[in-house]
Copies of this chain bind each other. A is one copy, B any other.
Amino acid sequence: MAPSSSLSPPRVPMELHVKNRDKLLKSLRQHLSESSRPLHGFVLLQGGEEQTRHDTDHIELFRQESYFAYVFGVKEPGFYGAIDISTGESILFAPRLPAEYAVWLGEIKPQTYFKENYMVSTVCFTDEIARVLQDHYQGSGRPLLFLLHGLNTDSDKFSKPAEFEGMDKFDTDLETLHPILTECRVIKSELEIALIQYTNDISSEAHVEVMRNTKVGMKEYQLESLFLHHTYMYGGCRHCSYTCICATGDNSAVLHYGHAAAPNDRTLEDGDMALFDMGAEYHFYGSDITCSFPVNGKFTSDQSLIYRAVLDAHNAVISAMKPGVSWVDMHKLAEKVILESLKKGHVVLGNVDDMMAERLGAVFMPHGLGHFLGIDTHDPGGYLKDLQRRKEPGLKSLRTVRELQEGMVITVEPGCYFIDALLLPAMNNLETSKFFNQEVIERFKGFGGVRIESDVLVTAVGCNNMTKCPREIWEIEAVMSGAPWPLKNTSTNI
């Protein structure tokens, strides 16, 4: 058996979702007051349903829709939930399960169970939505439903507004709820932060476990398996925030490696860098952590050069983060630190400001610096309030261009990659070819890339790195040769 953990799964406080609802209600009421609209009607959300695979009866393990999870914390499929804007009452609508459910799927829980467990005012059945909401309505005329409809700026897809039988007796508002609820999710509460800290703790520990067990000759997926096992066995995390990226060698330059068409199946070779981007989820809240390290446990000078460039960028950003700081500026700061390091290492030549003007940073780091993190890995709200995406390479990949605010949790994940599909055009471009030291670039062919990703909470005066992995080169080498983590009698890392 794998060595055990210092952690154990914490109790999940359902007060978290009570507070989420209070926050939403307050925010929505304030908006309605400011728009001189009546404080009546209902927020109505539809939870997710179990999905089968194509035409078969193979049921995919259900994970709740994220907005519904935020507001109600319900893990079971087939629910609806409402908040009465007049009274603040919360109502859950549970599916009416057939008697056979008890034989095949488990105890049919009484409504009191859901009422107590999810700390709501009332529990009814989903076939009673129309009647119950009509009965509760305190305004005049047809009751108004605030439904969730809005764009996810990462997927370019729209959320699906709730639908139920008898809906034609209600008026609906599709505009108001989405931006208000999304903004609630952007600023994390203390209870939310505690869960994200826990997923960071167990995932950080699992990353260390993976580092310690990485050996030349293994398959990439074996390290994925170790991570999944550690976070589930000891951390109680049944889901990951996203499919594990276990990239080694050249694969580490493939930003979203690990999917079905590139399934973590390469054999680790001596001299490879590993880039492992893996994060566990606990009670819907996630983590998103990347560690990069040499698979044989010892950095070469080229590996140190690139790793150091990225770590300096990571640390510079975290040192600069505080409320009011623009995320675009942080992205540029990371680019600049990386380009300066690459210049010191003779990978690029010339004036760094000129490189910045030509967006050379995006050749080495085509992705954005980071994204909000919460119930979704790419938590929504990055472009609220009519913020526009930038057009320039690199900046256009940013998942937010907002200024930092206290309570945001955002990933800091600078990277530096040698990607032929980007390098070759840039090296052949008249404006940018001069910056590249062809000979040195040639040396990095097949190197892949380095990413260092931490989850960072913005505080009143600065920020707090929630991720606790070995980051310094000497820390990584020590841990990979068997030293305990955290290291003893040393100054702590950022």
> Do residues A421 and B102 form an inter-chain contact, with CB atoms below 8 A?
yes
Partner of A99, one of B63, B260, B421: B421
> Do residues B52 and A157 form an inter-chain contact, with CB atoms below 8 A?
yes
A257 to B107, CA, bound (A): 10
> Do residues A378 and B57 form an inter-chain contact, with CB atoms below 8 A?
yes
Q: A77-B260, A260-B63, A261-B75 are in contact. Are A57 and B155 (CB under 8 A)?
A: yes
Min CB distance A85 to B, Å, is: 24
Determine the chain B residues whose CB is within 8 A of the CB of A60 once the complex forms: 60
Determine the chain B residues whose CB is within 8 A of the CB of A265 once the complex forms: 236
A225 to B265, CA, bound (A): 21
Partner of A160, one of B55, B66, B157: B55
Q: Decide if A254 is an interface residue (CB 8 Å cutoff).
A: yes
> Do residues B419 and A154 form an inter-chain contact, with CB atoms below 8 A?
no
Closest to A260 in B: B62
Determine the chain B residues whose CB is within 8 A of the CB of A238 once the complex forms: 221, 263
Q: Decide if A56 is an interface residue (CB 8 Å cutoff).
A: yes
**Which of A50, A60, A213, A225 has most B Cβ within 10 Å?**
A225
Q: Which of A1-53 contact B (CB under 8 A)?
A: 1-2, 48, 50-53
Determine the chain B residues whose CB is within 8 A of the CB of A62 once the complex forms: 259-261
Determine the chain B residues whose CB is within 8 A of the CB of A376 once the complex forms: 56, 58
A380 to B236, CA, bound (A): 35
> Do residues A226 and B233 form an inter-chain contact, with CB atoms below 8 A?
yes
Q: Decide if A453 is an interface residue (CB 8 Å cutoff).
A: no
**Which of A55, A64, A259 has most B Cβ within 10 Å?**
A55
Determine the chain B residues whose CB is within 8 A of the CB of A102 once the complex forms: 419-421
Determine chain A's interface SS by DSSP, over half rule: loop
> Do residues B75 and A54 form an inter-chain contact, with CB atoms below 8 A?
no
Q: Which of A238-283 contact B (CB under 8 A)?
A: 238, 242-243, 251, 254-257, 259-263, 265
Determine the chain B residues whose CB is within 8 A of the CB of A226 once the complex forms: 1, 229, 233
Q: Decide if A84 is an interface residue (CB 8 Å cutoff).
A: no
Q: Decide if A377 is an interface residue (CB 8 Å cutoff).
A: yes
Q: Decide if A357 is an interface residue (CB 8 Å cutoff).
A: no
Q: Decide if A228 is an interface residue (CB 8 Å cutoff).
A: yes
> Do residues A105 and B254 form an inter-chain contact, with CB atoms below 8 A?
yes
> Do residues A104 and B256 form an inter-chain contact, with CB atoms below 8 A?
yes
> Do residues A421 and B256 form an inter-chain contact, with CB atoms below 8 A?
no
Determine the chain B residues whose CB is within 8 A of the CB of A255 once the complex forms: 103-105
Closest to A209 in B: B1
Min CB distance A36 to B, Å, is: 31
Partner of A66, one of B56, B243, B380: B56
Partner of A154, one of B57, B64, B224: B57
> Do residues B256 and A105 form an inter-chain contact, with CB atoms below 8 A?
yes
> Do residues B233 and A225 form an inter-chain contact, with CB atoms below 8 A?
yes
Partner of A221, one of B51, B158, B236: B236
Q: Which of A211-230 contact B (CB under 8 A)?
A: 213, 219, 221-222, 224-226, 228-229
Determine the chain B residues whose CB is within 8 A of the CB of A64 once the complex forms: 260
Q: Decide if A59 is an interface residue (CB 8 Å cutoff).
A: yes
Partner of A103, one of B54, B242, B366: B366
> Do residues A158 and B55 form an inter-chain contact, with CB atoms below 8 A?
yes
Q: A102-B421, A224-B232 are in contact. Are A154 and B75 (CB under 8 A)?
A: no
Q: Which of A141-155 contact B (CB under 8 A)?
A: 152, 154-155
Partner of A222, one of B75, B233, B380: B233
Partner of A232, one of B61, B155, B221: B221
> Do residues B260 and A55 form an inter-chain contact, with CB atoms below 8 A?
no
Closest to A105 in B: B256
> Do residues B221 and A261 form an inter-chain contact, with CB atoms below 8 A?
no
Q: Decide if A110 is an interface residue (CB 8 Å cutoff).
A: no
Determine the chain B residues whose CB is within 8 A of the CB of A262 once the complex forms: 105-106
Q: Decide if A174 is an interface residue (CB 8 Å cutoff).
A: no
> Do residues B259 and A56 form an inter-chain contact, with CB atoms below 8 A?
no
Q: List 5 A-B contacts (CB under 8 A).
A: A1-B213, A55-B160, A61-B259, A103-B422, A105-B256
Q: Residues of A with Cβ closer than 8 Å to B?
A: 1-2, 48, 50-66, 75-77, 99, 102-107, 152, 154-155, 157-160, 213, 219, 221-222, 224-226, 228-229, 232-233, 236, 238, 242-243, 251, 254-257, 259-263, 265, 366, 376-378, 380, 419-422
